[in-house]
Amino acid sequence: MSTATRSLPRTIGAHAILLTYTAIALFPVIIVIMNSFKSRAGIFGAPLTPPTPETFDLIGYTTVIGQGDFIHYFQNSLVVTVASLFFVLLFGAMAAFALSEYRFRGNTLMGLYLALGIMIPIRLGTVAILQLMVASGLVNTLTALVLVYTAQGLPLAVFILSEFMKQVSDDLKNAGRIDGLSEYTIFFRLVLPLVRPSMATVAVFTMIPIWNDLWFPLILAPSEETKTVTLGAQLFLGQFVTNWNAILAALSLAIMPVLILYVIFSRQLIRGITSGAVK
């Protein structure tokens, strides 16, 4: 069936491209998950085949769970990610609101300054950050990680959110002011709900690098108490022997929480995109 806007070859073409891309993007993930359910011999013998009754083995998972601390690593990762996300969204939105709402001297300059961090990787400052954490006694605490990740996530959050905040109706904010609402109430009750879709976008962009980061946990919080999942998984990565079953199992498990968070946010994302289009 072909209509004015749709023709069969075009539809097939578009789907072929999208399916190819999906396959390429999902391939490594599927390989990891598949092999995490196989025995060591199965992994090396036929890495690309799904687990068969002969090769099926839960040894990876039992090792990871049996290690005992892994649940704890998970908790650490989750605490760090959720806390950082919370602060990035809160402070990012507040800064964005101030930049887009109030006219003050140096407004543009301040906006540029806050956005500078998008271009300069925070890892360049690792040495100074480490010195700072040592001096303030925060080494080997989750607080150190939360602080660093909040700093890392803020520039992009401020940049994206201030663009969206500019689009919130001035009339609505002014109506609130005339009704005697405080600036905080206007921000939390009127503006934030309207920029929720863009907050979800920022949340997704912020969350994934934090969850996956190995660098700062290794440097700032490598102690047993504060290890995150990515750092914990290194345990199985020996110089001479690598426990592939355990690593693949750990990685598969590590995907889960971030996937759940993503699903939560992406529903907001899609709702935001479509609700803006047809008003």
Partner 1 sequence: MGSLKIENVKKAFGPVEVLKGINLEVTDGEFVVFVGPSGCGKSTLLRVIAGLEDSTSGRVVIDGEDVSVTPPAKRGIAMVFQTYALYPHLTVKNNMGLGLKQASTPAAEIDRRIGIASSMLSLEPYLERRPAELSGGQRQRVAIGRAVVREPKLFLFDEPLSNLDAALRVNTRLEIAQLHRRLKATMIYVTHDQVEAMTLADKIVVLNAGRIEQIGGPMELYNSPANEFVAGFIGSPKMNFIDGARLGETAKTIGVRPEHLTVDTKSGAWKGTVVHAEHLGADTNLYLDCEKAGLITVRIFGVYNAEPGATLYATPEPGKTYRFGADGKVLK
> What is the distance between the alpha carbons of residues 36 and 28, in angstroms, rounded to a whole number?
12
Least separation, in Å, of the C-beta of 103 and partner 1?
8
Closest CA to 112 of 159, 52, 61: 159
Q: Which residues contact 149 (CB under 8 A, 6 or more apart)?
A: 80, 81, 84, 88, 210, 213, 216
Residue 69 or 183 with smaller CB distance to partner 1:
183
Q: Which of residues 166-225 bind partner 1 (CB under 8 A)?
A: 169, 171-172, 174-181, 189-190, 193-194
Residue 69 or 101 with smaller CB distance to partner 1:
101
Nearest-10 crossing angle of helices 70-101, 107-115: 160
Residue 62 or 182 with smaller CB distance to partner 1:
182
Backbone phi and psi for residue 38, each to the nearest 5 degrees, phi listed first: -115, 160
Strand partners, 38: 56
Q: Which long-range contacts (CB under 8 A, 24 or more apart) does 41-48 make?
A: 43/244, 43/245, 43/248
Least separation, in Å, of the C-beta of 46 and partner 1?
56
Q: Does 272 bind partner 1 (CB under 8 A)?
A: no
x/- letters, 130..169, toward partner 1 (CB under 8 A): ---------------------------------------x
Residue 78 or 181 with smaller CB distance to partner 1:
181
Residue 42 or 176 with smaller CB distance to partner 1:
176
Least separation, in Å, of the C-beta of 163 and partner 1?
20
> What is the distance between the alpha carbons of residues 251 and 34, in angstroms, rounded to a whole number?
12
Q: Which of residues 46-105 bind partner 1 (CB under 8 A)?
A: none
Q: How many residues bind partner 1 (CB under 8 A)?
A: 15
Residue 7 or 107 with smaller CB distance to partner 1:
107
Least separation, in Å, of the C-beta of 112 and partner 1?
18
Amino acid at residue number 47: P
Least separation, in Å, of the C-beta of 189 and partner 1?
7
> What is the distance between the alpha carbons of residues 220 and 134, in angstroms, rounded to a whole number?
9
For the chain, helix, strand, coil in percent to 5 are 75, 0, 25
Q: Where are the alpha helices (DSSP H) in 102-214?
A: 107-115, 126-135, 142-166, 170-178, 183-185, 192-194, 196-212
Least separation, in Å, of the C-beta of 110 and partner 1?
16
Residue 91 or 188 with smaller CB distance to partner 1:
188
x/- letters, 246..265, toward partner 1 (CB under 8 A): --------------------
Least separation, in Å, of the C-beta of 49 and partner 1?
53
What does the binding site for partner 1 look like in residue numbers (CB under 8 A)? 169, 171-172, 174-181, 189-190, 193-194
